[in-house]
Amino acid sequence: MSRRAILDKIRQSLNATPNDQARRSALDARIANPPRAPAPSRVAATGSDTIACFKSELEKQLATVVEIDNPALIPSAIASYLEANKLPLRLRHGCDPYLSQINWTSAAGLTLNSGPAAPNDPTGLSVAFAGVAETGTMVLQSGPDNPVTLGYLPDTHIIIVPKSRILATYEDAFERLRTAIGSGNMPRTLNWISGPSRTADIGGRIVIGAHGPRRLLALITAEK
C-alpha cells in the first residue's frame, strides 16, 4: 500500500524507527504547547496601538474602514455606505448573535435575508471572530452564524469587527480559537480576509474584484 511504502521510505531516509519515543515526544510537546515566533514589533513594542495598526494595515490593502462607537448606528452606517456606492439596500447574513441584538429597522429601506449567499446577492454581511492588527486581517469562522459564501459570492462584503476582538498577532487569534472551540478543533473553514479580491495576472497591473468581492467594508465597533 502507498501509505506504508511512503512512510517506510521517509523513515529509511531519516534513519528513524516508527517507535522512537524521543521523536514522538518532540512532536507531542510542540503540538501541546505550540511555540510562537517573536511577535512583529509593530504590534509588540510598548506603546503600539493595536486598533490603529489594524485600521491602517487594512486600509493599505484597499478596504474601507469605519469606526462606530455605538453599535446601534451600524444599520445607518451600512445604509449610507451602500447608497454612496449606488448599491441596492439589500443584505445577506447568517445568524450570528451579534446581529440579532441590533435594531435593523432603524435604517429605512434596508432589507435583510438570512442564509448562505445566492449568486445574485449584492452584499454579504459577516461578523469577525477576531481581528489581527499586524496585517489588518479579519478572521471568520464558517458555519450557520457566518456562512462562508457571504464573503466570496456577493460583489460587496461588509464585516463587523468588535473592538475587543482585535488582537495583536495571528497566534493571539489562534489562541482565542483554541479557547473557544477546543485545541485541535477547527470550523470547516477559517477565513483570513485582508482586503477585497484582486489580481495582477494581466500585464502585472493590479485590478480589484477578480472573483470575490470588489468592495470590502470593515466596521470597527463596540462589543455590545
Partner 1 sequence: MHSTTPNFKKNARTALADSQLQEALAGLPGGLVAQRAAARERLPEFDSLRDYGRDLRNHTLDHLDLYLERYEQQVIAAGGHVHWAQTADDACSAILRICSEADARLVTKGKSMVSEEIGLNHRLEGSGLEVVETDLGEYILQIRKETPSHIIAPAIHLTQKQVESDFRLQHDHLSANRKLDEPAELVNEARQILREKFINADVGITGANFLIAETGSSIIVTNEGNGDLTQSLAKTHIVITTIDKVVPTLNDAASLLRLLARSATGQEITAYTTFSTGPRRNGDPDGPQNYHVVLLDNGRSEILGSKFKEVLRCIRCGACMNHCPVYNAVGGHAYGWVYPGPIGAVLNPGLIGIKEAGQLPNASTFCGRCEAVCPMRIPLPKLMRHWREAEFEQTRGPALARAALRSWAAFAARPWLYHPLARVAARILKFSSGSRGSLSWFPFAHRWTKDRDLPAPQGKTFQELWAARGKSTTPKTKRSAR
Which triple of cell numbers denotes residue 124?
454579504
Question: Which residues inside 57-76 make contact with partner 1, applying CB under 8 A?
Answer: 57, 60-61
CB of 69 to partner 1, least distance (A): 27
Query: How far, CA to CA in Å, does 71 sit from each of 115, 185, 221?
Result: 22, 31, 6
35 binds partner 1 (CB under 8 A): yes
126 binds partner 1 (CB under 8 A): no
52 binds partner 1 (CB under 8 A): no
Determine whether 143 is exposed, middle or buried from the number of CB atoms within 10 Å of its CB (0-12, 13-18, 19+).
Answer: middle
Residue among 70, 108, 211, 223 that touches partner 1 (CB under 8 A): 211
If binding means CB under 8 A, how many residues of this protein chain bind partner 1? 82
42 binds partner 1 (CB under 8 A): yes
Question: Which residues inside 171-190 make contact with partner 1, applying CB under 8 A?
Answer: 171, 174, 177, 183-190
- What is the C-alpha to C-alpha distance for residues 171 and 44, in angstroms, rounded to an integer? 12
Q: Which is nearer to partner 1, 6 or 222 (CB)?
A: 6
Question: Which residues inside 132-161 make contact with partner 1, applying CB under 8 A?
Answer: 135-137, 142-144, 147-149, 151-153
Sign of the torsion angle spanned by Cα atoms 148, 119, 155, 198: positive
Quick one: which of 59, 75, 55 has its CA closest to 161?
55
